[in-house]
A and B are shown apart, each in its own frame.
Chain A
């Protein structure tokens, strides 16, 4: 089955630790995205990548880092510099660079930092 996988579904970390969230897609999509969602809120864009080895900051990139070494993978690292890392993190991909292509979302990772 084609789709986007995110792992793990739930993740717990101690404050001050970096943590990396996995996102893999087998849809052969060029573009990939990371969003953050807080309770009762919409999605906010963290980073996006339109092509391998290239990525751009979204609206709330501070405290996060990404890499795009392979077309299929777009891992997100939540660093200790992120002030409020506890949130629901969603990865998405789309066929092309333009937003006329719908975005396909993974099931999300719920990160809790204490």
Chain B
């Protein structure tokens, strides 16, 4: 599975869009990009995933660059409850394995 790199932390103002970047420069053609988040002391929560096309659901949007070497998770209107660690993961799905790195800590300020 390709390695992903994320900044350690970022913050944004409540009500504004939060754009969380992720680099996956070694991603292969059959590897998906997944985003999960973990609120303090809870289990991670799935947010979204994609392969090539941009994706949107009720939680967020995922923008994948054309060369697939990077992606951005967008929370359109961040709230204080979005403060969490966000994990960007890439994987093929082989053996159901996903590798979670340290993620990026998003702090939403009032």
Q: Which A residues fall within an 8 A CB radius of B?
A: 4, 31, 33, 35, 40-45, 48, 50, 56, 58-59, 88, 90, 92, 94, 96-108, 110
Contact = CB atoms under 8 A, between A and B. Distances in A.
B49 A102 contact: yes
Given A42-B87, A43-B44, A104-B46, A99 B103 contact: no
B96 A99 contact: yes
B96 A98 contact: yes
A7 to B, nearest CB: 13
A25 to B, nearest CB: 12
Contacts of B42: 107-108
Interface in B69-99: 87, 91-99
20 contacts: A33-B96, A40-B102, A41-B102, A42-B87, A42-B101, A58-B97, A96-B96, A98-B93, A99-B92, A99-B96, A99-B98, A102-B34, A102-B49, A103-B44, A105-B43, A105-B44, A107-B43, A108-B42, A108-B43, A110-B41
Interface residues of B, number: 24
B75 to A, nearest CB: 18
Nearest to B101: A42
A92 B91 contact: no
B98 A103 contact: yes
A38 B44 CA distance: 14
Interface of B: 32, 34, 36, 41-46, 49, 87, 91-103
Interface of B is mostly: loop
Given A90-B43, A105-B43, A108-B43, A100 B101 contact: no
Nearest to A42: B100
B102 A94 contact: no
Given A40-B102, A42-B102, A99 B97 contact: yes
A35 B100 contact: yes
A65 to B, nearest CB: 19
Given A90-B44, A105-B44, A45 B99 contact: yes
A106 B96 CA distance: 17
